[in-house]
Amino acid sequence: MIQITIIKINEYGPWTLTLGCDREHELQMLQASLYKEVQKLFSDKNCLAFLNRSDEFFVVTNGLTLNDHIAIQKKLEELFELKLTMSIGFAQTPFDANLKAHEGKQSPVILNKEHNIFGFVNGKADQKVTIMHFDVDDLSSSRKIKSPYEISSTMFRLYSSMLEFFLEKKSLAFFMGGDNFMVVSNDNAKEYAQKFIQRAKADLNLLLNCGIGIGKTSREAAKLATKSLDKIREIRDSGKEKPEILETSCF
Ligand SMILES: Nc1nc2c(ncn2[C@@H]2O[C@H](COP(=O)(O)OP(=O)(O)OP(=O)(O)O)[C@@H](O)[C@H]2O)c(=O)[nH]1
Ligand SMILES: [Mg+2]
C-alpha cells in the first residue's frame, strides 16, 4: 500500500500576475525555497518529496497521519504568504494512490477545512514502499564528447521514455538531477527495471544501473535504493562483473 500526498500552491496563476511582468526571478526563488521547506519538513518525518512541476510536489507519505499533515501545513502557513492544498490518497499502486488523492480534492472529501487538506489517509497501516534509483552508467565519458545542452536533451528523452514505461506499470518516475531518476514502484520492481534497462539500451543507447530499495517509509526505501546503486558501482570498480540491478530490503 502506497500513500501519496500531492501539494499544490493555491491560486498560484492569478497571484503570479500581481507581481507584474518582471517576475520570473522572484517566482524561481519562491519555488526553490518552497521546495526546500517541503523537503525538509517531510524528510524530518522519514518521507521523500518529489519535485513534480515546481508549483506542485508529490510526497510518498507512508506512515504519516492526518495530524502529521496538519502540523506540516501549519509550519508552511507560517513561512509563506501563499497557501497550499494537500490531497492525500492511498492504494495498492502509486498511480492509483495519485488518482485517489486527485479524487479526494475533486469531490471534495474534506479531511481538514482550516488547513486545506483533502482525500483519504491510511496513516500507519500497512507500510511498504519500493523505490528504484536509476543512474546512467559512466555518463562522464559522454560528457567528454557531448556538450552540456546535448546531454540534457538525452536525459530528458530518457525521462520521457521512463515516465511512459512506468505509467503503464502504474508506477511514478521522477527526475532527481544529473543522471539520476527515482521510480516509486509497484510490486515486481526487479522485472520492470530489467525491461526498462533493455529498452533504454535499444532505443537510446544508454546503459543504466538500478538500485532497488524496499522500506517502511519512502526515505528508508530511497536510502536502500541508493545503497544498492552504490553497491553496483563498488562491484564494477573492483573489476568484477557488475549486476545491472541490485535490491536491498528492510523486511
Ligand atoms: N540526485 C542525485 N544526483 C546525483 C547522485 N549522485 C550523483 N548525482 C549527479 O549525477 C551526476 C553524474 O554523476 P555520476 O552518475 O556519479 O557520474 P557517472 O560518470 O555516470 O558515474 P557512474 O554513475 O558511477 O557510472 C553528478 O554530477 C550529480 O549531478 C545522487 O545520488 N542523487
Ligand atoms: Mg551515472
Same topology, domains 2-119 and 129-249? Answer is yes
- 215: CB partners within 8 A, 6+ apart: 128, 129, 131, 221, 222, 223, 224, 249, 250
pLDDT above 80 for 223:
yes
Element (H, E) at 11: none
What's the alpha-carbon Rg for the chain, to the nearest Å?
A: 19
Q: What is the pLDDT of residue 75?
A: 98
Residue 244 and residue 232 in contact, taking contact as beta carbons nearer than 8 Å? yes
Q: How confident is the model at residue 53 (pLDDT cuts 50, 70, 90)?
A: confident
Q: How confident is the model at residue 144 (pLDDT cuts 50, 70, 90)?
A: confident
Q: How confident is the model at residue 72 (pLDDT cuts 50, 70, 90)?
A: very high
Distance 47 CA to ligand 2 centre (A): 24
For the chain, give every domain's residue range. Answer: 2-119, 129-249
> 136, 155, 179, 206: which to mutate for ligand 1, most atoms within 8 A of CB?
179
Q: What is the pLDDT of residue 93?
A: 96
Give yes or no for residue 204 CB within 6 A of ligand 1.
Answer: no
pLDDT above 80 for 204:
yes
| Atom number, ligand 1, closest to the C-alpha of residue 209 | 23
Residues 2-119, CATH architecture: 2-Layer Sandwich (3.30)
pLDDT (tens digit, 9 = 90+) per residue, 114-139?
999 999 999 877 789 999 999 999 88
Residues 129-249, CATH architecture: 2-Layer Sandwich (3.30)
Q: What is the pLDDT of residue 143?
A: 75
C-alpha cell at 96: 492509483
pLDDT above 80 for 49:
yes
Q: Whole-model pTM?
A: 0.96
For range 148-170, the mean pLDDT: 97
pLDDT above 80 for 14:
yes
For range 217-221, the mean pLDDT: 97
Give yes or no for residue 233 CB within 6 A of ligand 1.
Answer: yes
What are the start-end ranges of the E strands in 55-114?
A: 56-60, 84-91, 110-112
